[in-house]
Amino acid sequence: MPDISNKSLEELQTSIADLTSKLSFAHRMGQSFMVNQIQMVLEGYKAEVAKKMDELYKKQNIQTNININNTK
């Protein structure tokens, strides 16, 4: 798999959409080997998106926890 760490979130999402389309086509054609290969690449792209989102949240100091304690 090529180095995708330098791609932007938008580029990654475009690639994921393209790969998802190719995955659908491979399913319809019964190409199980190709399906497995595309799924592995998709997992890598999705992991990179998750990593970039975590960095973005950390950079923007967005809290991901919700306080449900009653403060009365």
- Burial code (b: 16+ CB inside 10 Å, e: under 16) for 30-53 equals eeeeebeebeebbeebeebbeebe
The vertex-65 CA angle with 6 and 51, nearest 5°, equals 15
What is the per-residue pLDDT across 33-44, written as a single tens digit (0 to 9) for each?
999 999 999 999
Whether pLDDT at 1 is above 80: no
pLDDT band for position 64 (cuts 50, 70, 90): low
What is the per-residue pLDDT across 13-39, written as a single tens digit (0 to 9) for each?
999 999 999 999 999 999 999 999 999
Which pLDDT value is given to residue 56? 85
Where are the domains positioned within the chain? 9-59
